[in-house]
Structure 1
Amino acid sequence: MIKGTLGKTANTVILLIAVLVLNFAMIHVAPGDPVEALVGEMGGATTEQIAELRAQFGLDQPLYVQIGKYLWNVAQGDLGYSYYYDQPVTSLILDRIGPTLLLVTTALFSAIVIGTVLGVFSAQRRNSLLSHLVTVLSLAGFSAPVFWIGIMLILLLSVAIPILPISGMTSSEVPEGTFWYILDVAHHLVLPALTLGLIYLAFYSRLSRASMIEVLQTDYVRTARAKGLPRRMVIYKHALRNAVLPVVTFAGLQFGQVISGAVLVETVFAWPGLGTLAFDSILRRDTTTLLGILFFSALMVVVMNILTDIVYRRIDPRIKTA
C-alpha cells in the first residue's frame, strides 16, 4: 500500500509539472504582450520604461529560463505577482476562492441530489410521464449553452418577475457578519447556482436513470425480490448503493471542471469568484494570475480524484478488498 501511495504521489507531481509547463508555454506564445496591456492601462509609457517593466517581470529572458524560474517559485509556494492587481497571485486566489466554492458546491450538490432522485424514480417507471419528462429535460439541459440559460433566467426572474437580484454577491447596504448578510448572500446565490446547476442536473438525472435501470436487471436484485424483501429495501438498500457509484465517480471528476466552467456563469452574474478573475486576467493579459488560476484548477482536479477514490472504497467494499 505504501508503494502504491508513493507511486500515485510521484505521478501526481509529474502531472502537475506537465500542466504548469504546458500552460506557461501556451500562454506565452499566444499573441499579445502583458507589458503592452499594462502600459495601455497606465495611459502610455516611454521605450525605456517599457524595457524596465519587461526586465522587472522577467519577460526579457528566454522562454525556457522563464519556465525554469516559474517552476522553482511554484515549488516554494510562490505563484507569482500580478501585473495588473499589484499583489501576490496567491492572495488574489484566496480572496476569490470562497465565492467560487460556495457557488460550485451549491450547484453541484443540488444537481447530484435532485438528479439522482429524479433518475431513481424514473428508472422504476420507465414508461411513465416522469421518465419521459426527465429525458426531455436532460436533452434540453445538454443542448442549452450555460450563458443562454443565465440570460433567460435573468429575463424571467429578475426582469419579468423581479424577485431575484441580477448581479453581485451582496447588497451594499447590508452589514457583514450579520444574519441578514447571510440571507442576502443566499438571495444573490440563487440565480447563478440555478444556472450552473441546471446543466449538471440534466446530466446526473440521465446518468442515475441509466445506472439504476442496469442495476435493477442484475441477478442479485432479482434474488432479493424472489426472497420476498420489501420493494423499498430492494431499491434503496441493494440497488441504489451500486447505482450511485457512477454518479460519485463523475461528481469527483467534474468538480474541478465545474470551477473552470463557472467562468461564464460568474461573468454573466458578476459573481466575484475565480471565474470573474480569470476572465478579467485574460482581457488584461495578466498571465501570472491566469497561470495561478489554471494551476489551482488542476490541483483541485487531482485532489478531487483522490477524494473520489476514498469515497468509492467506502461505498463499494469490493474495491477495498481488492
Structure 2
Amino acid sequence: MSTLTRIGRTFRRTAIQAVPTVLGIVVLNFFLLQLAPGDAADVMAGEAGSATVETMAALRQRFGLDNPLLVQLFNYLYNLAHFSLGFSPRYGMPVADLIGQRLPGTLLLMAVALTIAIALGLVLGSLMAVFSGRLPDRLLSVVSLLFYSIPGFWIGLMLIVLFSVKLGWLPSGGSGTIGSNLTGLAGLWDKVRYMILPALSLALFYVAIYARLTRAAMLEVQSQDYVRTAAAKGLSPTVITIRHVLRNALIPITTMAGMHVGGMLGGAVVVETVYSWPGLGRLAFEAVMGRDFTVLLGILLLSSLLVIVANATVDLLHAWLDPRIGVR
C-alpha cells in the first residue's frame, strides 16, 4: 500500500471518528455550562449599575436566553450546521470573528512553547541518559522535578520579577509595543521580546515531562539488539545516539506532545491572563466572567478540533519515524 493511500485512509478514519466525538463534546459542554449561575444579561445589567425587569427581559429575548433549554441547544446546533458559532451578547459581534482575532496569538504561543519544551526536553533527557546514574543525571533530575512541581502562574510571576522588574530586559505583558509600527527585523524582534516570557512560562512544565520521557526511552532503546549491532559495526557513539537511539525514543515524545495540545490550551488561560496576552485563553477567562457561554462554547469546540488534528498528525509522524508502524 502506498504512503498516499495510507494517509488518505487515516484522514478518512479520523474524520469519521471526529464527527460523533465533536457532537458529544458540544452537547456535554452546553449542558454543563447551563449549571453555572446567571447569564450574560445578569452580568451586563450588573456592569450598567441598574436595570429594570423589562430591560432584563428584553435582553434575554434579544439573545434567545429566555427560550427553553432544548430550544437553545437546537438553535446552537442549527447554527453549527450552517457553519456559524453564534453571536456574542457581551462583545456585540459574531463569535467566529471574535475567535478569529484571538486564535493566531494562541496558536503562535502554543507552537513556540511546544517547540521550546520538546527541544529542551530532548537535550536534557539525552544528557540524563548519557550520564545515567552519575552527578549530571541527578542534578538535571532535580531541575526537572522543580519545573514539574512549581505552578505555572508562579513561574510566570517570578519571570516577570526577574527579567522585567529587576533586570529590565523583557516586557512584562502585552504582545507588542503600542504605537510602534515597526516592520522588518525590528518588528520581528519586538514580537519575539514579548513572546519569550509567556512561552517559557507555558513550556517549563512540559520540559520536565519530555526530559524524563526521553531519558527513560533512550535507556530502554540502548538495550535493544539493533543498537548493539550498530556498535559492533563500528559506528560512532554520536551516530548511534542520533540515528538509532534518539529517533526511536521520539515516538513516546510525539505521542505525549499530541496529548498535551489540550493541556496547553488550558495552561494558556493562566499564562495569557498573567501576561495580558491577547489569545483564546484570555478570551475564555473573560467569557466565563461575563457568562458569555456562546463564546465559551465556540472556544471549547475549536479546542476539541485542534486536539483531534494534533492526534492525527502524531499518527502520521509515527509512521515516518518508524516504518514498522503502519497507518491502517
TM-score of the pair, normalised by structure 2: 0.93
What's 1:204 paired with?
210
Deviations 1:257-278 (A, max 9, x none): 2122111000001111111111
| 237, 246, 264: which one aligns with 2:270 | 264
Match of 1:53 in 2: 59
Distance 1:321 1:159, change over 3 A: closer
Q: How does 1:24-103 map to 2 (within 5 A)?
A: 24-103=30-109
Which residue does 1:216 correspond to in 2?
Answer: 222
Task: Write the deviation string for residues 192-237 of structure 1: whole angstroms up to 9, x where unpaired.
Answer: 1111111111111111111111111112212222232221221111
Asked whether the equivalents of residues 122 and 131 of structure 1 are also in contact (C-alpha less than 8 Å), the reply is: yes
Partner of 2:15: 9
Distance in structure 2 (CA, Å) of the matches to 1:121 and 1:134: 8
Match among 280, 287, 294 for residue 274 of structure 1: 280
Q: 1:20 aligns with which of 7, 26, 35?
A: 26
Contact 1:118 1:134 survives alignment (8 Å):
yes
1:227 matches 2:233: yes
**Match among 73, 96, 110 for residue 104 of structure 1:** 110
Tell me the secondary structure at the aligned position of residue 244 of structure 1. helix
What one-letter code is carried by the residue in structure 2 that aligns with 1:13? V
Moved more, 23-32 or 176-185: 176-185
* C-alpha contact (below 8 Å) 1:174/1:180 kept by paired residues: no
Counterpart AA for 2:231: R
Determine the C-alpha separation between the residues in 2 that align with 1:45 and 1:157: 46
Checking the alignment, whether the CA contact within 8 Å between 1:257 and 1:301 is kept in structure 2 is no
Instruction: Please give the alpha-carbon distance, in whole angstroms, between the structure 1 residues aligned to 2:13 and 2:188.
Output: 44
User: What is the rounded CA distance, in whole Å, between the counterparts of 1:202 and 1:219 in structure 2?
Assistant: 29
C-alpha offsets along residues 178-197 of structure 1, whole Å, 9 cap, x if unaligned? 43222111111111111111
Cα 1:69/1:234, change in 2 over 3 Å: same
Alpha-carbon contact 2:14-2:312 (below 8 Å) kept = no
Other-structure match for 2:174: 168
Give the distance between the partners of 1:56 and 1:48, measured in 2 at CA: 12
- Following the alignment from structure 1 to structure 2, what is the Cα–Cα distance between the partners of residues 166 and 241? 38
Instruction: Give 2:119's match in structure 1, choosing from 93, 113, 125.
Output: 113
CA contact (8 A) 1:150 1:195 kept: yes
**1:141–1:198 Cα contact (<8 Å) kept:** yes
| Aligned residue type for 2:280 | L
After TM superposition, give the deviation of residue 133 of structure 1 in Å: 2.0
- Structure 2: how far apart are the matches of 1:183 and 1:3? 42
Shift of 1:254: 1.1
Q: Which segment is superposed worse, 289-298 or 218-227?
A: 218-227
Deviations 1:291-318 (A, max 9, x none): 1111111110011111111111111111
Deviation at 1:43, TM superposition (A): 3.1
Which has the higher mean CA deviation after the structures are superposed, 7-16 or 146-155? Answer: 7-16
CA deviations on 1:238-257 (whole Å, 9 max, x unpaired) are: 11111111011111221232
Q: Say which of 280, 287, 295 aligns to 2:293.
A: 287
- Structure 2: runs of 5+ lacking an equivalent: 1-5
SS in 1 for 2:87: coil
Deviates more, 1:245-254 or 1:176-185: 176-185
- Higher mean Cα deviation, 18-27 or 112-121? 112-121
Residues of 2 paired with 1:63 and 1:321: CA distance? 42
Q: Deviations over 1:53-83 (max 9, x none)?
A: 1112111111111111111211211111111
% identical equivalent positions: 44
Partner of 1:251: 257
Match runs of 1:125-140 below 5 Å: 125-140=131-146
Corresponding residue for residue 303 of structure 1: 309
Find the aligned partners of 1:60 and 1:10 in 2 and give their Cα distance: 35
Letter in 2 for 1:196: L
**1:159 shift after superposition:** 1.4
Cα drift, residue 6 of structure 1: 4.3
CA distance change for structure 1 residues 246 and 138 in 2, over 3 Å: closer, same or farther? same
- Per the alignment, do residues 304 and 122 of structure 1 end up closer, same or farther by CA in structure 2, a change over 3 Å counting? same
Q: Tell me, which stretches of 5 or more residues in structure 1 are unaligned?
A: none
